[in-house]
Amino acid sequence: MSSKSTGLRHWRQRFNALFQDHEIFIRTHGHVRFLRISAVWQKRVALIAGVVLLAWAGATLAVLINQLLTADERAAVAQQQAAAAASEKRIAQYRDRVAETAADLEERQALLEGVAETHFGIDAEAMAAQPAAAADAAKAEPLQTSAIDPNLPPEAQALARLEARQERFASRLLAAVNIRAANAEDAVAQLGLNPAAIVRSAAAGRGGPLIPYKGRMGKAKALGASFAALEGALFRMEVLERTLVAVPSGNPADVLMMSSGFGYRSDPFTGGAAMHSGLDFRGPIGTPILAAAPGRVSFVGAKSGYGNVVEVDHGQGIMTRYAHLSGFTSKVGAQVAAGQQIAKMGSTGRSTGSHLHFEVRLNGVAVNPRRFLEAKADVLEVKNDARQRVGAITARGAR
């Protein structure tokens, strides 16, 4: 016999000892009754009580476990909610960032389109794509593009890439504009004018008619380095190219001989020294007189000494005067092209014979027209480029 079964019997004996047959006396109204409770019965009751107790304990445990599980779940839900809130905050930040970037992009785009329309007609993109401009842009300082945050969602990164492309475009546009401005500056200097003084004077608002200068350039600095630099470069290009266009380099009459030069000479009437403020062209009466540059006819009539006079305002402070005329073919306010007939040669006023007296005035001061009429081919080429660009804008503006 094993010690295990011996132990079991010992426990059973102890258990059985708890339950012994009992007899209980119950006395009711003088009668005595015996109530016998057997050990077997007691055991059954104890067993049932035990089972009930166990069942109750089990149920309680189950409820407790259930409650613990629910707490776990509740914690999980809370965690999920916190995550959702955090993600929502992140999304809100991302949305703000995207909205901000989109607004920036829109502003830059409007600026670029404004520049393209104001300064180049539509062809700004084509102009920026010129090989020379592209090469110059490549030589220029490394691009100052906004760094693309790798933590941004893909959509925001796409916007950031667009932003970088836009700034690259502005940088190439800047290079192209700088090339044009440099060429114009060179040509203006070759014509004996002072480019720096012209730009300074224009910037101070004293330089002739207003240059169409739209766009919200005030905000340019906030939009990136290239955009800020573009502002100054465009202004320089515009002023210098318009000056080139205004320069009267066209022959005012289809005659070759210049009978009298600019400067001090002996007066044909008094014989004394007198300032001759223009050039004289000798030719038959009625020879067509041509506008030396595009502009607006600002005076038609007689002036003391000059006889019949036509004056043309070319803008940028440049004016031409045509004197001793025999007749007019233009009216005040008319827009004339370079080479367009405005009058007829004559001998009115202080004149000794049929000739044209041709004057160029820069901000009211007579200058020698010879340097404009004898402009070199390379200068005229730059001037022609400028005329095409400015002409395209003017035509668009007039429409």
What kind and span of H or E run contains 68? helix 39-120
Q: Residue 236 or residue 357: which is nearer to Zn ion going by CB?
A: 357
Size of the site for Zn ion (CB under 5 A): 2
Tokens in use for 349? 């006023």
Interaction of residue 324 with Zn ion, rule CB under 5 A: no
Q: Residue 167 or residue 280: which is nearer to Zn ion going by CB?
A: 280
Question: What pairs with residue 312 in β-bridges?
Answer: 297, 320
Residues in contact with 180: Cβ distance below 8 Å, sequence separation at least 6, in sequence order: 237, 241, 385, 386, 389
Query: Smallest distance from the beta carbon of 136 to Zn ion, in angstroms?
Result: 46
Tokens in use for 51? 């089972």
Residue 315 has φ and ψ, to the nearest 5°, of: 85, 175
Q: Residue 136 or residue 280: which is nearer to Zn ion going by CB?
A: 280
Query: Smallest distance from the beta carbon of 378 to Zn ion, in angstroms?
Result: 30
Interaction of residue 357 with Zn ion, rule CB under 5 A: yes
Query: Smallest distance from the beta carbon of 302 to Zn ion, in angstroms?
Result: 16
Q: Residue 242 or residue 321: which is nearer to Zn ion going by CB?
A: 321
Secondary structure of residue 75 in the 3-state scheme = helix
Q: Residue 70 or residue 352: which is nearer to Zn ion going by CB?
A: 352
DSSP-assigned states of every residue in 333-351? T-EE-TT-EEEE-B--SS-
Secondary structure of residue 35 in the 3-state scheme = strand
Query: Smallest distance from the beta carbon of 278 to Zn ion, in angstroms?
Result: 5
Closest CA to 317 of 246, 370, 367, 255: 246
Q: Identify which range of 126-134, 183-191, 352-360, 362-370 contacts Zn ion by CB under 5 A.
A: 352-360
Residues 273-292, one symbol each (x = binds Zn ion by CB under 5 A, - = not), give -------x------------
Q: Residue 174 or residue 290: which is nearer to Zn ion going by CB?
A: 290
Residue 299, class by beta-carbon neighbours within 10 Å (0-12 exposed, 13-18 middle, 19+ buried)?
Answer: middle
Q: Which residues of 312-349 are buried (b: 16+ CB within 10 A; e: fewer)?
A: bbbbbbbbbbbbbbbebbbeeebebebebebbbbbbbb
Is the torsion defined by CA of 248, 250, 255, 261 positive or negative?
A: positive
Residues in contact with 249: Cβ distance below 8 Å, sequence separation at least 6, in sequence order: 292, 293, 372, 373, 375, 380, 383
Residues 153-192, one symbol each (x = binds Zn ion by CB under 5 A, - = not), give ----------------------------------------
Query: Smallest distance from the beta carbon of 256 to Zn ion, in angstroms?
Result: 17
Tokens in use for 230? 């573009």
Count, in order, helices (H) and strands (E) of the chain: 9, 15
Q: Residue 163 or residue 280: which is nearer to Zn ion going by CB?
A: 280
Residues in contact with 138: Cβ distance below 8 Å, sequence separation at least 6, in sequence order: none
Interaction of residue 241 with Zn ion, rule CB under 5 A: no
Position of minimal CB gap to Zn ion:
357
Task: Find the binding residues for Zn ion in span 243-272 (CB under 5 A).
Answer: none
What are the angstrom distances between the C-alpha of 269 and each of 274, 303, 322, 323?
10, 18, 20, 17
The CA-based dihedral angle spanning residues 118, 122, 126, 127, taken in that order and rounded to the nearest 10 degrees = -20
Q: Identify which range of 146-154, 173-181, 230-238, 354-362 contacts Zn ion by CB under 5 A.
A: 354-362
Q: Residue 323 or residue 338: which is nearer to Zn ion going by CB?
A: 323
Query: Smallest distance from the beta carbon of 305 to Zn ion, in angstroms?
Result: 10
Query: Smallest distance from the beta carbon of 332 to Zn ion, in angstroms?
Result: 23
Q: Residue 357 or residue 361: which is nearer to Zn ion going by CB?
A: 357
Query: Smallest distance from the beta carbon of 276 to Zn ion, in angstroms?
Result: 6
Q: Residue 263 or residue 364: which is nearer to Zn ion going by CB?
A: 263
Query: Smallest distance from the beta carbon of 281 to Zn ion, in angstroms?
Result: 9
Query: Smallest distance from the beta carbon of 347 to Zn ion, in angstroms?
Result: 12
Q: Identify which range of 140-148, 162-170, 356-364, 379-387 contacts Zn ion by CB under 5 A.
A: 356-364
Which residues sit at the interface with Zn ion, rule CB under 5 A? Answer: 280, 357
